């Protein structure tokens, strides 16, 4: 693929970086369009949960990618998570682990998350947003920040530049099955979920099982009572050995 020309708008405040960029995508925005915000008032996580951070305390970045296949678009979330992880290693030595499907963890505490939103178009379009705690973190959930974990203060602008560089290095993998296999191997190597006993919060009923793999579509593969079960979308909780779950 050709070199990506990143066109990133820098804004002081926005309701949602993903929401803004989805609207731009529907108006025909090209790949590489994006927005970096100092503050967002209606940030969203999975299942439309709200997420808010004090101004200048987090990386709030969304970008538009247009892989050639839907499967590639599905893997864009993982590509962003890996790019952010690699950027943190380069800037401060922090190497978060990954939790399926979209979280970055430090010692089982959440430091960031990625949200992908498919936009119907031809070729497929996906808006991928990263929210990463740089200097502050929520106090009501198990969370941390880059500064708390490392003692290093990183600006969102400096981190965004490196994230985009790392993301472009992985973008070409999204256009072919061979490339996705390479991306999948990198993702599995950093994924703390594999080998863990987990509780999967499905709409109808929670399921507890052993996470054993991620398939070529990015779905989580569980072993539940001796049988394999594939989960395409859900919240996952890593369980300690003494935790009790529901089957």
* Whether 60 contacts 118, CB under 8 Å: no
Determine the Cα–Cα distance for residues 194 and 183; give it in Å rounded to an integer: 16
> Tokens 């490339």 belong to which residue?
179
* Torsional class of 218: left (φ above 0), alpha (ψ -120 to 50), beta (otherwise): left
**Secondary structure (3-state) at 29:** coil
Provide the pLDDT for residue 233. 87
What sign does the dihedral 167-169-172-176 (CA atoms) show? negative
* Whether 59 contacts 156, CB under 8 Å: yes
**Quick one: tokens of 66?**
């247009």
Provide the pLDDT for residue 154. 97
Provide the pLDDT for residue 3. 86
**Secondary structure (3-state) at 207:** strand
Nearest to 47 by CA among 238, 234, 207: 234
Provide the pLDDT for residue 47. 47
Provide the pLDDT for residue 97. 97
What are the structural domains, with CATH classification, of the chain? Answer: 7-190 (3.30.930.10), 197-238 (2.30.30.100)
Nearest to 39 by CA among 15, 7, 64: 15
pLDDT along the chain (247 residues), means of 10: 90 96 95 96 58 86 96 96 98 97 95 95 91 93 96 97 97 96 97 96 89 96 96 90 48
Provide the pLDDT for residue 243. 53
β-bridge partners, 131: 60, 113
Provide the pLDDT for residue 246. 43
Provide the pLDDT for residue 247. 39
Provide the pLDDT for residue 111. 97
pTM of the model: 0.92
Determine the Cα–Cα distance for residues 224 and 162; give it in Å rounded to an integer: 40
């Amino acid at each position: 693929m050709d070199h990506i020309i990143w066109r990133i708008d820098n804004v002081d405040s926005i309701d949602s970086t993903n929401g803004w960029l989805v609207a731009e995508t529907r108006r025909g925005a090209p790949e590489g369009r994006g927005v970096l915000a100092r503050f967002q008032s209606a940030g969203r996580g999975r299942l439309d949960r709200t997420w808010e951070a004090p101004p200048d305390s987090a990386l709030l970045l969304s970008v538009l990618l247009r892989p050639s296949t839907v499967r590639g678009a599905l893997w864009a979330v993982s590509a962003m998570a890996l790019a952010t992880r690699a950027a943190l290693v380069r800037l401060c030595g922090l190497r978060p682990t990954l939790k399926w499907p979209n979280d970055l963890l430090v010692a089982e505490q959440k430091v960031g998350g990625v949200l992908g939103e498919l936009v119907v178009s031809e070729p497929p379009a996906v808006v991928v947003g990263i929210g990463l705690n740089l200097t502050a973190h929520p106090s009501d959930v198990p969370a941390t920040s880059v500064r708390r974990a490392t003692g290093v203060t990183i600006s969102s602008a400096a981190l965004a530049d490196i994230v985009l560089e790392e993301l472009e290095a992985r973008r070409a993998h999204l256009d072919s099955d061979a490339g996705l296999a390479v991306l999948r191997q990198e993702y599995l190597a950093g994924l703390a979920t594999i080998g863990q006993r987990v509780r999967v919060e499905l709409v109808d009923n929670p399921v507890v099982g052993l996470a054993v793999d991620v398939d070529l579509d990015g779905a989580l593969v569980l072993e539940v009572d001796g049988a394999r079960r594939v989960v395409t979308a859900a919240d996952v909780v890593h369980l300690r050995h003494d935790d009790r779950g529901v089957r």
